[in-house]
A and B are shown apart, each in its own frame.
Chain A
Amino acid sequence: MPPILPDFSNSVKLKYVKLGYQYLVNHILTLTLIPIMAAIFIEVLRMGPDEISNLWKSLHFDLVQILCSAFLIIFIATVYFMSKPRTIFLVDYACFKPPITCRVPFATFMEHSRLNLKNNPKSVEFQMRILERSGLGEETCLPPAIHYIPPKPTMEAARGEAELVIFSAMDSLFEKTGLNPKDIDILIVNCSLFSPTPSLSAMVINKYKLRSNIKSFNLSGMGCSAGLISIDLARDLLQVHPNSNAVIVSTEIITPNYYQGNERAMLLPNCLFRMGGAAILLSNRRSESRRAKYRLVHVVRTHKGADDKAYRCVYEEEDKESKVGISLSKDLMAIAGEALKSNITTIGPLVLPASEQLLFLLTLIGRKIFNPKWKPYIPDFKQAFEHFCIHAGGRAVIDELQKNLQLSSEHVEASRMALHRFGNTSSSSLWYELSYIEAKGRMKRGDRVWQIAFGSGFKCNSAVWKCNQSIKAPTDGPWADCIDRYPVHIPEIVKL
């Protein structure tokens, strides 16, 4: 009994010390200003009214001087307000809910794998092991063309899937926001692996009869982080065009990319990638500030492509049988860790409170000057953000980030559950995760969200949002019928 108590009291003491330090450093300005103001006030009281009027008269104020100072103040204020970047609001977003008939249970996936890869039982075994440890559930969906024995990935089927996913998500977005298609000024569609002519953005413009002077962009080949790249592009465009709406469609079309060969490194995406998509409405109109859900605070993009290993770690190529697939290298996790570190170094100073930055600075100075053996201080990002949306690239990615950022299981719950229910939906997974947090009723006004996405190249992109208004748990959306079953315990290995 006795040995436990001192430890407990020690940790409590430490906690209070930490809290005290954080409060002190984060509110340093207020804490220094208040005594100064108090001192001035006391001084004024002490001086008495006569002395004050004497002091006032001794300052010779010329009319010209007064006018110049007034103009200067007005000039500085105008320059400040003009150069301030426009606030970008996320009015609302909608995620695609796959039809339940596209569901692929583990047993069906393995069976099809076995029937399609008759001559290579070892590849089937490999896929089974991946699936067991993947963290996916039994309700993830693949597009109809992949359900056939053998799969029929024709271009028509790919277009069919694109239409199903994108139009569903956009219809849902129009319904939620009451947006008139003619009011869309900017359209950005990102889909990494399927890029037909005319582009998917042209397909959207054709379907919804959008305006002829719309600014449309189609981003392809940019991997799973393309969603945040689109957000960044939209933000830059919305700085230039006042009073505009931007719609972003993030998706990944699975049909043409189902690998039908035997190379193990290329079979991995088959096991993890699933059908999904999201449509997001951004605006810089002041009128939207009342009903917008979030405000965009920062977007930080880091590209490690200059490093050859990082460039080659997610590589699309033909295997020995001339079948095209995406090969994932073995040091993917290490490279992801490096990219994350790079991204954190840039985003840290923007979002961390002063207390954490000071600690980091002190440890850095200490390591450089005193003792290089000191452990580098990992800033506590939990103080900068209330919610984390980590791209559900796979169980390994989420585990790695949880370890690196020292996050608790509640923080990564949204990512794990989105992976379980929807699989790796590539660029749209961040939106399914955000939807999960909202569906659980955890999003309150003023909460800050950090979205992190990794992509081929190798890229690590982050976006920081601030919640504009407390969000009631929505009755529609992709989680509406199953949110009560979550969170679910996902075993380490599912026995197949």
Chain B
Amino acid sequence: MAEITYICKRTVVSTKPTQPGKYHSFSVLDHLMEKNHIRIVYYCKSWGEKEAGEITVSLRESISEMLTHFPKVTGRLIRNEKGNWMIKCNDAGVRMVEARAKGSVEDWLKIVDREKELKLVYWEDMIHKPYFWSTFYVQITEFEEGGVAIGLSCFHLLADPICATMFLKAWADKTLGQKMVSPPFFHPLPPRRPINKTSNHKPYADLINHYKFSIENSIPLLDANHTHTTITLSFSDHMVQACMDMVQPTSAPNKPNRPSSPFEALAGLLWICISKVKGLRNGLVNMSLCLDQRKVLGLDKGFFGNCMVCNKVHSNGLEEHNLSQATKVIGEALEKMDNEGIMDLIEWLKHNDSYSHPLMNNCDLICASLETAEPYSVDFVGGFEPIRVSYYVEPTIGIGQVLIFRAPSYDGPLGRVVMVTLPKDEIVKLCEDELILHLSPRILMGVARNHA
């Protein structure tokens, strides 16, 4: 079927030299993500000349121009006096891999699975000398019969999926010859707003305890076995509406009901379904929600760095698999993640900052909302949305991972794409779950079919 041939690997640098002697340190939220990396794949239709390699050349030129604004990305890692990572802005550049694939993008998308898709995103684990290791990798795969796949992988220490998408958006804007909509904003996390400081302020314990528990009970990377696989489900507007309707509770008329958001509804749905496939008949699996906190902390949309915080959802008392109750509990957990709570967490993390940071968040099911990323608004072609976007936050070990982000505009404003990563046998059971089948989302990427 579609084979991928790697043509070359090179380094792309910015067009203007960076000022020497600049350094960039990381925040406590960045340090927590040291063991992870992100991979994003964008599928676009071809534009301009159809000659092989021309699209790659124009993308290479535009990324060179765009990298002038991202000195943090073109720098390299060194350790500071405390032993923590820091970036030296030495202008070394970003690795780029160029590849060709047979067939067209549409054909590929019909048969793609996790293993195949990850071949479109090049990644190298940190080498022995981190000073010569690139933290960002870009792969451009041109399909011979039309279409381009752009893969971006990056070290989670530098960026979360939101700003990685923003990086791609800046690149797309430059390719179209436009100015960047939101230029990147490289600053440390803001301090606590002084207005809200009260003398007997009790720190929000739940968030802190959750992080403490996660750090202490992290499964070491070596012990885990990698048998996870990923599927992509697309919920269109009416499917999400139907899900939200299912969520509305019928009892308790005197309690005002806050309408649930698509994320809450889908998170609740998947929580229940995943608990069922894991064999938990009474009670729900441990889950934590991960959200972008840029707005909560009052940061600009272009803030470049980690700004996603997780909070555990309490499933105590939820014995039945009741969708509306699950969603209600999720809503409560989300409300608790306000400015105060996040600031408390950040301060606690600063006080307890240790040298080595273990792999976070692998003792819970992670459900992350990438709502603010707006992946389908990144336009490389000029007037056309990407055909598909996929996100991966690696490594996925432990219970599992769910990523929810906006769908393309033809799926309506409520449309969402859900990428679920679970052990292989559980994924198969998930696809046959009755709740899922009731809503009947489109399966964009399924489980790998074993070839006999």
List chain A positions with a Cβ less than 8 A from chain B: 100-101, 103-108, 110-112, 114-115, 137-139, 147-149, 152, 495
> Cα distance A144–B15 when bound, in Å?
15
> Is the CB–CB distance between B11 and A100 below 8 Å?
no
> Is the CB–CB distance between B61 and A101 below 8 Å?
yes
Quick one: closest B residue to A138, CB to CB?
A: B17
Quick one: closest B residue to A124, CB to CB?
A: B132
> Cα distance A139–B15 when bound, in Å?
9
> Cα distance A148–B10 when bound, in Å?
4
A105-B13, A114-B129 known; A148-B8 Cβ under 8 A:
yes
B22 interface residue (CB < 8 Å to A): no
Chain A residues with CB under 8 Å of B8's CB are 148, 152
> Cα distance A103–B11 when bound, in Å?
10
Q: Which of B13, B15, B90 counts the most chain A CB atoms within 10 A?
A: B13
> Is the CB–CB distance between B91 and A100 below 8 Å?
no
> Is the CB–CB distance between B13 and A115 below 8 Å?
no
> Is the CB–CB distance between A103 and B10 below 8 Å?
no
List residues 1-24 of chain B with CB under 8 A from any CB of chain A.
8-13, 15, 17, 20
> Cα distance A49–B433 when bound, in Å?
135
B174 interface residue (CB < 8 Å to A): no
Chain B residues with CB under 8 Å of A106's CB are 90-91
List chain B positions with a Cβ less than 8 A from chain A: 8-13, 15, 17, 20, 60-61, 64, 76, 90-93, 95, 129, 132
A148-B8, A148-B9, A149-B9 known; A100-B15 Cβ under 8 A:
yes
Quick one: closest B residue to A112, CB to CB?
A: B11
Q: Which 6 A-B pairs have the closest CB atoms?
A: A107-B92, A138-B17, A107-B90, A105-B91, A147-B10, A100-B15
For A101, give its contact among B12, B20, B76, B91 (CB under 8 Å).
B12
Quick one: closest A residue to B88, CB to CB?
A: A107
> Cα distance A112–B92 when bound, in Å?
10
> Is the CB–CB distance between B13 and A103 below 8 Å?
yes
Chain B residues with CB under 8 Å of A104's CB are 13
Q: Tell me the minimal C-beta distance from A229 to chain B in angstroms.
A: 35
> Is the CB–CB distance between B132 and A108 below 8 Å?
no
Chain B residues with CB under 8 Å of A138's CB are 17, 91
Chain A residues with CB under 8 Å of B64's CB are 100-101
> Is the CB–CB distance between B12 and A149 below 8 Å?
no
11 A–B contacts from the bound complex (CB under 8 Å): A103-B17, A104-B13, A105-B91, A107-B90, A108-B91, A111-B11, A114-B129, A114-B132, A149-B11, A149-B95, A495-B20
Quick one: closest B residue to A111, CB to CB?
A: B132
> Cα distance A28–B93 when bound, in Å?
64
Chain A residues with CB under 8 Å of B20's CB are 495
> Cα distance A138–B8 when bound, in Å?
24
Chain A residues with CB under 8 Å of B61's CB are 101
A-B contact count (CB 8 A): 53
> Is the CB–CB distance between A115 and B17 below 8 Å?
no
Q: Tell me the minimal C-beta distance from A189 to chain B in angstroms.
A: 27
Chain A residues with CB under 8 Å of B17's CB are 103, 105, 137-139
> Cα distance A148–B76 when bound, in Å?
19
> Cα distance A105–B93 when bound, in Å?
9
> Is the CB–CB distance between A115 and B132 below 8 Å?
yes
Q: Which of A104, A106, A108, A152 counts the most chain B CB atoms within 10 A?
A: A108
Q: Tell me the minimal C-beta distance from A389 to chain B in angstroms.
A: 26
> Cα distance A138–B90 when bound, in Å?
11
Quick one: closest B residue to A104, CB to CB?
A: B13
> Is the CB–CB distance between B13 and A108 below 8 Å?
yes
> Cα distance A107–B71 when bound, in Å?
13
Q: Tell me the minimal C-beta distance from A96 to chain B in angstroms.
A: 18
> Cα distance A137–B17 when bound, in Å?
10
Q: Tell me the minimal C-beta distance from B61 to chain A in angstroms.
A: 6
> Is the CB–CB distance between B92 and A111 below 8 Å?
yes
> Cα distance A112–B10 when bound, in Å?
9
> Is the CB–CB distance between B11 and A108 below 8 Å?
yes
Chain A residues with CB under 8 Å of B11's CB are 108, 111-112, 147, 149
Q: Tell me the minimal C-beta distance from A399 to chain B in angstroms.
A: 23
Chain B residues with CB under 8 Å of A495's CB are 20
> Cα distance A136–B90 when bound, in Å?
16
> Cα distance A149–B10 when bound, in Å?
6
> Is the CB–CB distance between A101 and B132 below 8 Å?
no
Quick one: closest B residue to A137, CB to CB?
A: B17
19 additional A-B pairs beyond A108-B92, A111-B132, A114-B129, beta carbons within 8 Å, are A100-B15, A101-B61, A103-B13, A103-B15, A103-B17, A105-B13, A105-B17, A105-B90, A105-B91, A105-B92, A105-B93, A107-B90, A107-B92, A107-B93, A110-B132, A114-B132, A115-B132, A149-B9, A149-B10
> Cα distance A105–B92 when bound, in Å?
7
Chain A residues with CB under 8 Å of B91's CB are 105-108, 138
> Cα distance A391–B130 when bound, in Å?
39
Chain B residues with CB under 8 Å of A137's CB are 17
Chain A residues with CB under 8 Å of B15's CB are 100-101, 103
> Cα distance A152–B7 when bound, in Å?
11
Quick one: closest B residue to A144, CB to CB?
A: B10
Q: Tell me the minimal C-beta distance from B49 to chain A in angstroms.
A: 18
Quick one: closest B residue to A103, CB to CB?
A: B13
> Is the CB–CB distance between A101 and B60 below 8 Å?
yes
Chain A residues with CB under 8 Å of B132's CB are 110-111, 114-115
Chain B residues with CB under 8 Å of A105's CB are 13, 17, 90-93
Quick one: closest A residue to B129, CB to CB?
A: A114
Chain A residues with CB under 8 Å of B92's CB are 105, 107-108, 111
> Cα distance A147–B64 when bound, in Å?
14
Q: Tell me the minimal C-beta distance from A97 to chain B in angstroms.
A: 13
Q: Which of A138, A152, A495 counts the most chain B CB atoms within 10 A?
A: A138
Quick one: closest B residue to A114, CB to CB?
A: B132
Q: Tell me the minimal C-beta distance from B158 to chain A in angstroms.
A: 17
Quick one: closest A residue to B90, CB to CB?
A: A107
> Is the CB–CB distance between B9 and A108 below 8 Å?
no
> Cα distance A211–B12 when bound, in Å?
42
> Cα distance A468–B8 when bound, in Å?
50
Chain B residues with CB under 8 Å of A110's CB are 132
> Cα distance A94–B64 when bound, in Å?
26
> Cα distance A112–B64 when bound, in Å?
18
> Is the CB–CB distance between A108 and B93 below 8 Å?
yes
Chain A residues with CB under 8 Å of B13's CB are 103-105, 108
> Cα distance A137–B16 when bound, in Å?
12
Q: Tell me the minimal C-beta distance from A321 to chain B in angstroms.
A: 23
Quick one: closest B residue to A115, CB to CB?
A: B132
> Cα distance A429–B238 when bound, in Å?
68
> Cα distance A115–B93 when bound, in Å?
14
Chain B residues with CB under 8 Å of A107's CB are 76, 90-93
Q: Tell me the minimal C-beta distance from B128 to chain A in angstroms.
A: 10
> Cα distance A104–B12 when bound, in Å?
9
Q: Tell me the minimal C-beta distance from B13 to chain A in angstroms.
A: 6
Chain B residues with CB under 8 Å of A152's CB are 8
Q: Tell me the minimal C-beta distance from B90 to chain A in angstroms.
A: 4
> Cα distance A148–B11 when bound, in Å?
7
